């Protein structure tokens, strides 16, 4: 049987603070419907110039550590050429070079194959845009 492609868009509200939002449960729910027990690939994509997708441990401080590291690498100050929105917003446009806007993950027997502590997360440092879309696509 040839592979099938299924896609869905999630609407995520990230609020007015920098966030790491765990999408793992939403990915698993999507795969329950889309994968039908098949092997394949899940692609997670955020179509925004100021957000990214990370596979990282959450709940044990790693998500806060990621935001702290991004503050060190990409300070929210006036050094950025890209200047509009909140002060330091130019750094948000550099974020996808460090946290890419996509991840492609293996699906085995319809289940997302992550390591024990891994989660799929939306990383959003842009306080000016609290409404995000994330596209989930399964090919299998």
The CA-atom distances, in angstroms, between 128 and each of 13, 28, 48, 84, 85 are 12, 29, 12, 10, 7
Tell me how far CA of residue 40 lies from CA of 3, 26, 90, 105, in angstroms: 8, 17, 37, 9
Q: Quickly tell me which residue has 């799929």 as its tokens.
A: 120
The Cα–Cα gap between 68 and 74 comes to: 10
* Domain ranges within the chain, ordered by starting residue: 5-139
Pairing of β 102-108 and β 40-45: antiparallel
Report whether pLDDT(38) > 50.
yes
Q: Which residues pair with 139 in a beta bridge?
A: 5, 41
% of the chain at pLDDT higher than 70: 98
Q: What is the pLDDT of residue 87?
A: 82
Task: State the pLDDT confidence band at 1, using cuts at 50, 70 and 90.
Answer: very low
CATH superfamily of 5-139: YjbQ-like (2.60.120.460)
């Amino acid at each position: 049987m040839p592979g099938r492609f299924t896609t869905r868009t999630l609407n995520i509200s990230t609020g007015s603070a920098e966030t790491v939002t765990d999408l793992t449960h939403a990915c698993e729910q999507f795969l329950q419907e889309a994968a039908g027990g098949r092997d394949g690939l899940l692609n997670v994509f955020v179509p925004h110039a100021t957000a990214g997708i990370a596979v990282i441990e959450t709940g044990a401080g790693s998500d806060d550590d990621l935001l702290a590291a991004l503050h060190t690498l990409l300070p929210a100050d006036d050094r950025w050429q890209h200047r509009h929105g909140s002060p330091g917003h130019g750094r948000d446009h550099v974020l996808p070079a460090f946290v890419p806007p996509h991840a492609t993950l293996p699906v085995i027997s319809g289940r997302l194959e992550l390591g024990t502590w891994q989660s799929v997360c939306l990383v959003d440092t842009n306080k000016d845009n609290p409404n995000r879309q994330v596209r989930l696509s399964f090919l299998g």
